[in-house]
Structure 1
Amino acid sequence: MFFSGPRRSKRSLHLGVILSLSLLSVFFLSGLITLGFFYHNCLYDSAKQLLEINNQLSSMGEERDLNANLSTVSNNLSSITEERDLLNTNLSAVSSQLSSMTKERDLLTEKTNELKSLLCLSNQNKACPAGWNKFNCSCYLLSERSASWDEARKECRDRGADLVVIDSPEDQTAISNIATTEAWIGLNDKEQEGIWKWVDGTPLTLIPAGNWEEDQPDNGGGSSHWGEEDCVHVRTDMKKSWNDRSCSTSFKWICEKTP
């Protein structure tokens, strides 16, 4: 019984130490759990911030690419605008030149008509060679034989004349009276298809297209039978008497010259 007191004291001390260590362990574990939770939250916040920064950077990259594309489009649009303005300037210049050429052509036509009128007055009292028909100020001859358009023109030029040029409705009336059969006249588009010119170089502008036979000229209508139809002859079986035919076709012809 003498030793029971100290033993109880030691046992109480051991229990106190154990209890203290247990409490410290609990506190340490709680601290670790708290620290882990705090660290986890910090990592989550950091990851979230990194994600937001990455999204911002991505958005900035997209905006940068968009700005680059917009800049390229703007440059292309500016280039197109410059080309359009240059084209409009060139078109304006061509239009002005065409207008000037048209005025010059009209003036030349007017002067030519005046010259023809003066020549007509000077030739009024002159007679045509035998076999030629006189109308207004010109002499006309219907050939006796037939030939190609080129041969016909050569025959006319050998006589000091040329294939007839019809530059007024009155001339058309006179030719209709002279041409008792199909006959070549001095109109062709041999130089450029569809651009009709008279043998004196004047374009087909003074006589309306109403003198063409219906659906003519048609350059053969695409048929290989007729070939290229670059020369014009008059017909006598209808009022609208002009028709295009192959220049190698054999027809009579009408020559024209001044007395």
Structure 2
Amino acid sequence: MDTLYENTDFVDLSINEASYCKGDPTGVHQKRYVTQSKCTKVLLLVLCVFVVLAVGGLCVLGVLYNNNNLGDFESLHVQHQRALMQLSAQEMNATIMERKLKGLMADLTTVREQLSFCKDMESELHELKAKNNRLRASLYDAQSCDLWTVCRGMIYFSTDKRDWASSRAVCVSMGADLVTITSQKEQDFLVSKIKETHWIGLNDLETEGRWVWVNNKTLEETGVEFWHKRTSGKSEPDNWKEKDPSGENCVSLGNHGGFLNTWFDNSCKQLKRFICEKK
């Protein structure tokens, strides 16, 4: 058996025959064929590796792309939800503002109604004041007056002279006060009954330049004033301080110069006759 397998002639013959059958008596082409087959396998193996790597890369890229798209989708979803929340908040604010606006419109309507009512009341008040002034003036049409005279109230013309404060004290002691003048007829009536200057119930003792009657009404409220006007020099009231440094804070009907139909501010310390009025 050993001799059989080690027969070199047989082996060589087999090889030579194979080579001969392939048209290569020398066996060179057979060797080249084996070498090319191995190279082809290596190339195929390398190609497979590249294909696997390429497919793996494509898979990785696909995963990354999907992840990015998923992230973008989630981001868009979050933004959408935020936009919906903001829109809802704005709608709620708009509803609240609409309610407030309706409330303000209702308040405005109420204020307008109140203003209209106040204007009506103011108009009626002016009419009542005008009627009162006309009625009051009509009651001073008497032709004579001896001490107390009934003219809606009672008028007293003093015969003695006092300063303004003492004159008022006398009037108050009789349940009266210094006279207030609220109409042209009342002014004319008093002027017609005096022959010299008299104290009346107008002063600015509390605030300089703010003339107030003893019943606490201002000239703006009574609506009439009869200050003496000069063509040259300052008209009354002039608050002259030459004789009294405290100024002239009390008002008289007429002055010592003979002007009896207008008002003059004087030092409250001067002695004058006075006119009391009892309601």
Residue of 145, 154, 166 corresponding to 2:161: 145
The AA in structure 1 aligned to 2:162 is S
CA deviation map 1:112-156 (0-9, x unaligned): 444444xx3xxx4x6736xx9xxxxx977465432233x203334
What are the residue-to-residue correspondences of 1:95-244 with 2, within 5 Å? 95-117=119-141, 120=142, 124=143, 128=146, 141=157, 143-149=159-165, 151-156=166-171, 163-169=178-184, 172=187, 175=191, 178=194, 180=196, 183-187=198-202, 196-197=212-213, 208-211=224-227, 226=246, 229=249, 231-234=250-253, 236=255, 241-243=262-264
Partner of residue 255, structure 1 = 275
**5+ long unaligned stretches in structure 1:** 133-137
Matching residue of 1:40: 64
Q: Could you tell me whether the CA contact under 8 Å between 1:142 and 1:178 is conserved in 2?
A: no
1:25 aligns with one of 33, 37, 49: 49
More deviation, 158-167/49-58: 158-167
| Mapped partners of 1:82, 1:256: distance in 2 | 53
Distance, in Å, in 2 between the alignment partners of 1:211 and 1:172 is 12
Residue 97 of structure 2 is aligned with which of 61, 73, 85?
73
2:5 aligned residue: none
Indicate how the Cα distance of structure 1 residues 188 and 89 shifts in structure 2: closer, same or farther if over 3 A, else same: farther
Q: Is 86-95 or 165-174 further displaced after alignment?
A: 165-174
Pair 1:87-2:111 in alignment = yes
Cα-to-partner distance string for 1:199-224 (whole Å, 9 max, x where unaligned): 6x98856773353666877999xxxx
Query: What is the CA–CA distance in structure 1 between the aligned matches of 2:102 and 2:76, rounded to whole Å?
Result: 38
Report the TM-score when normalising by structure 1. Answer: 0.61
**Alignment check: 8 A CA contact 1:143 1:252 kept:** no
Q: Which is further off, 57-66 or 155-164?
A: 155-164
C-alpha distance 111-26 of structure 1, shift in aligned 2 (>3 A): same
> Aligned to 1:209, what secondary structure does the other structure show?
coil
Aligned length: 236
Between Structure 1 and Structure 2, whose CA radius of gyration is higher? 2
8 Å CA contact 2:227–2:237 kept in 1: the answer is: no
The structure-2 alpha-carbon separation of the partners of 1:32 and 1:109, relative to structure 1 and needing over 3 Å to count, comes to same
- Aligned identity (percent) is 19
Aligned twin of 1:135 = none
Query: Once superposed, what is the RMSD of the aligned Cα atoms?
Result: 4.9
Letter in 1 for 2:201: G
Tell me, yes or no, if the aligned pair for 2:137 and 2:186 is still in contact at 8 Å: no
Cα distance in 2 between the residues matched to 1:93 and 1:152:
44
Deviates more, 1:9-18 or 1:39-48: 9-18
- 2:73 is aligned to 49
Shift of 1:31: 0.9
Describe the SS at the equivalent of 1:107. helix
Query: 2:228 touches 2:262 (CA, 8 Å); kept in 1?
Result: yes
Residues 51, 215 of structure 1: alpha-carbon distance in 2 compared, 3 angstrom cutoff: farther
Change (3 A) 1:61 1:22: same
Deviations 1:171-208, CA, capped at 9 Å, x for gaps: 54663994645x42033589999584466x98856773
Flag the 1:153–1:249 CA change in 2: closer, same or farther, 3 A: same
Structure 2: gaps of 5 or more residues: 1-11, 19-29, 149-153
Higher relative contact order, chain-length normalized (CA < 8 Å, sep 6+): 1
